[in-house]
Amino acid sequence: MTYTPEKPALPRSIEELRATIPGWGADLDPKFRPAVPQERLDPDLSGAHWEFPERQPEKWPRERSIEHQFLTPVFGTACPPRGASGKIRRYAYAKYSEARAAHWLLLIAADRVDTVESTLRSFVSRRPDNPLTETGIRTEFTRGGLSSRVGRKRADVVHHPLDPVIVAAPWVLGAAVTYAAIRRLTRGRRGEQTTDR
Amino acid sequence: MVYRGPYRVRVEEKDRPSIEHPNDAIVRVTRAAICGSDLHLYHGMMPDTRVGMTFGHEFVGVVDEVGPSVEHLRPGDRVMVPFNIFCGTCFYCARGMYANCHNVNPNATAVGGIYGYSHTTGGYDGAQAEYVRVPFADVGPSLLPDWMDEDDAVLLTDAVATGYFGAQLGDITEGDVVVVFGAGPVGLYAAKSAWLMGAGRVIVIDHLDYRLAKAAEFAHAETCNFTEYDDIVVHLKKITGYLGADVAIDAVGAEADGNLLQHVTAAKLKRQGGSPVALNWAIDSVRKGATISVMGAYGPIFSAIKFGDAMNKGLTLRMNQCPVKRQWPRLFEHVKAGYLKPSEIITHRIPLEHIAEGYHIFSAKLDDCIKPIIVPNAA
Ligand SMILES: [Zn+2]
Ligand SMILES: [Zn+2]
């Protein structure tokens, strides 16, 4: 009862729990829980034979948070910034700290630009994007797309129809940008011709 | 696999990773997994997720090549690799906070290094591939014990350790009522671990009945499908004698199955599986003076948390990425003793060439999917 000092009774007694659940209480004493306390000096697990590690060579100006004093001794090199998205990313890192919303919003914006850029770039490569197969949509038919959703009171079904919009949006946008660019180019040329005369 | 844009991934030939630092190793992946937190990347929700990036931070494999300063590993060694990349000697590593290593992630100071987890965590390519670069090979990986199954091992590299850590941060004492939000892999392991730490009652909340069935069977938990109640908070109060739980574990995270627009619907409808709804439910449904442990993945962009209630109720909020390697010795004992059988939750085995299908099944929760494992072509 909440309004008296006692805690409400448990549905099953401790003895019953110990009997039914393998290992019940094995780590009851916090000293058996390896991450307690959270901080302790020298947890003797490391295997490191350095105090400050050797530094990985920086092959291109590697972007970094301005909250760091210098480039960390080790870093990933998965996708160096390139194109317009790369410019936005470099700017977000060079200008704003992690404390600033602008930092993260610029990075998210760069991600969208990157998607459009990369998709367009893929069309002039040997491996063009395939918007359908890349979504794995086939499994909707082979792995019970309907039966996994209908009559199951799932809370996430509401937003599932939005997913295709998110997938298709960069494509539609890409097409619109291309169309606008072509129109601008052709118009510009016509304009030049008239001034020549 | 490589990321091609929101909801799109494909298989692509990439250059084999090379030794970039003297303490690197190249590991041939024999098992990888898709993690719930990979869905944040897949949905394009994590800032600085670049097209061309390979995901995957849960893996085991065989050492293929080692850098000149590697002393503890040799080619041919079977290793399991924690999802954290860490140096072993910085201020944080020296204090056992391996997830918070300061020497591996130039892109941010708030988070350490993670394999295949956008550039926000250092820009490392991930392990849903044939080969992966493992930095600080003398520090991160452990030899796979020969008695341990690869399927169990791959889950210990993140999901099990994180679930166990979630229960640890809950500071459970004997007989505590523990409520776990989310019956995905981390939630299931957190529920199971809560018993090891002496919980008196474990209640798991989710919206997918098949996952709740797993929670009942695998984790001996009481279960509750929140879609069946007008107000899950009131229901939780009712079943805990109007007191509330002593400990809550948020194993959902921000928008694990959503997108930007879900933010709106989540706030409006209060009926979404994504968070911060789960975290806010946790804050509201626990008793005063309770501890909340946050294990779900949250991105760097702010989320609206009911901080006033947390303050007024005197709650303790604890959270971090799991320092995986610190947990291993004890977790190995539990697996050996049979208290934990991590691989029991694996539902799907997907060849690397069908990765797009694997992501869709997992993301849309088709075919009663709980945990998919990736088997590379090379294996
Ligand atoms: Zn994970
Ligand atoms: Zn470190």
pLDDT at A191: 57
Chain B 144-163, CB below 8 Å of chain A: which residues?
none
Closest Cβ opposite residue B259 in set A2, A119, A162: A162
Which listed ligand is nearest to B324 at the C-alpha? 1
- Of all residues in chain A, the one with the smallest CA distance to B91 is A41
Please report the beta strands in chain B, taking only residues with DSSP state E, as ranges in sequence order.
2-5, 8-10, 25-33, 58-66, 78-81, 84-85, 113-114, 131-134, 142-143, 177-181, 201-206, 222-225, 245-250, 286-294, 316-319, 346-351, 371-375
- B159 CA → ligand 1 middle, Å: 6
How many Å apart are CA A167 and CA A13, to the nearest integer? Answer: 52
* 3-class state of residue B289 by DSSP: strand
Which listed ligand is nearest to B98 at the C-alpha? 2
Nearest by Cα to B184 from B159, B167, B216, B164: B159
What is the per-residue pLDDT across A49-80, written as a single tens digit (0 to 9) for each? 999 999 999 999 999 999 999 999 999 999 99
CB contact under 8 A, A48 and B138: yes
- Flag whether residue A159 sits within 8 Å of chain B, measured between CB atoms: yes
Low-confidence ranges of chain B (pLDDT < 70): 255-275, 377-379
pLDDT at A190: 64
Strand partners of residue B131: B28
pLDDT by position in tens, chain A (length 197):
788 999 999 999 999 999 999 999 999 998 898 887 777 776 666 889 999 999 999 999 999 999 999 999 999 999 999 999 999 999 999 999 999 999 999 999 999 999 999 999 999 998 999 888 998 888 888 888 888 888 777 777 766 777 777 677 767 777 788 888 888 888 866 655 555 44
- B260 CA → ligand 2 middle, Å: 33
Strand partners of residue B33: B58, B373
How many Å apart are CA B110 and CA B114, to the nearest integer? Answer: 13
Q: Six-digit token pair at B176? A: 């505590």
| Main-chain phi, psi angles of B139, to 5 degrees | -110, -45
- Flag whether residue B54 sits within 8 Å of chain A, measured between CB atoms: yes
pLDDT at B296: 82
Which listed ligand is nearest to B92 at the C-alpha? 2
Looking at chain B, the whole-number percentage of residues with pLDDT higher than 90 is 85
Please say whether the beta carbons of B368 and B343 come within 8 A.
Answer: no
Q: How far is A19 from chain B (nearest CA, A)?
A: 12
pTM of the model: 0.91
How many Å apart are CA B144 and CA B376, to the nearest integer? Answer: 18
pLDDT at A45: 64
- Flag whether residue A148 sits within 8 Å of chain B, measured between CB atoms: yes
* 3-class state of residue B114 by DSSP: strand
- Flag whether residue A31 sits within 8 Å of chain B, measured between CB atoms: no
Helices first, then strands: H and E counts in chain B: 11, 17
- B339 CA → ligand 2 middle, Å: 32
Q: How far is A26 from chain B (nearest CA, A)?
A: 5
pLDDT at B267: 40
User: How many pairs of residues across A and B have Cβ atoms under 8 Å apart?
Assistant: 334
